[in-house]
Structure 1
Amino acid sequence: MSWEGQQAPDFRLQDQDGNEHSLADYRGQKVLLYFYPRDSTPGCTVEAQQFRDRLDELEAHGVQVLGVSRDTVKSHRKFADKESLNFPILADPEHDVLKAYNLLKEKTMFGKPALGVNRESFLIDEQGVIRKHYAKVKPEEHVGEILEDLASADNTLS
């Protein structure tokens, strides 16, 4: 399925502080919705640190960053505290949002099938339409890729 040009599925999830967020809450601004497999794992930590360290650059383009994983609010609180995260990370322990975005996939772990979360992101415009789907995310490079796309989009609008 091609996500680009599609209305982003709405949701209501709690962040690391227990505050509820829905995609509809962010109408009128861009959202970078990024999905990651698990709190405090090496790739997920690098990716979160990249978003933390470059959040000002993303915000300069009018982008609100929201992370999502199937971890609990409690797990997110520990992860956010440990990594000094400065953006909401949303808990989806029931997998509702992961399923809506088709990111829960069967993978092989230790030779056995298991459900895993794909590391993917969606850049959503002010009207809630997906403008860019990042299906192959490299944690170390992802924020730079997003910023390049935002700069290109800004230049085409000028």
Structure 2
Amino acid sequence: MKNVESLLDKIKKYWNEDLELENYEDISRSDLVLEEARRLFDWEEDRRKTIENKTRMLIGINALIISITAGFGLSGTLINFVLLSSLLSAVIGVLPLLNWKYQRPVDYEDIYPLSEKSSYDSERMVLRNYRESIKWNKWINGIKYDLFKFSLGSTISSMVLLSLKVLL
């Protein structure tokens, strides 16, 4: 019971939430661990959505930069760099939006076989699947985030070059 209380305290501190539980004995350690795994998985899912939304915003900004540059008929070597940088940013920005293969801890086909296993075996299998899914999804999100950062850097350089052209 003391282990469950200390684990619960760690989870409360980590998530900064008030967990209202009447009795610690009603909670098994595996339930807490599975709940924490689910939260980490959901966090990684939210991270994916955030990266994709920010990437969409960057693509829009680059389209605006290209439109402004072409619309005002600006020309010259500096403008060519602006266009090239914005175009590169937009192309790189599309990559995180492609259909990447994310893992799920439990697929539709796994539900029935899980129900036939013992509770202990099912929990271990689901926990192992969560761990593998989180690890894989985190790796994919890392790649997408690196592409986003490159696209952001290219967008910023386009904006700086365009500002220099306008000011000079």
TM-score (norm 1): 0.28
Q: Which is higher, the Rg of structure 1 or of structure 2?
A: 2
More strand per residue: 1 or 2?
1
Q: TM-score, normalised by structure 2?
A: 0.27
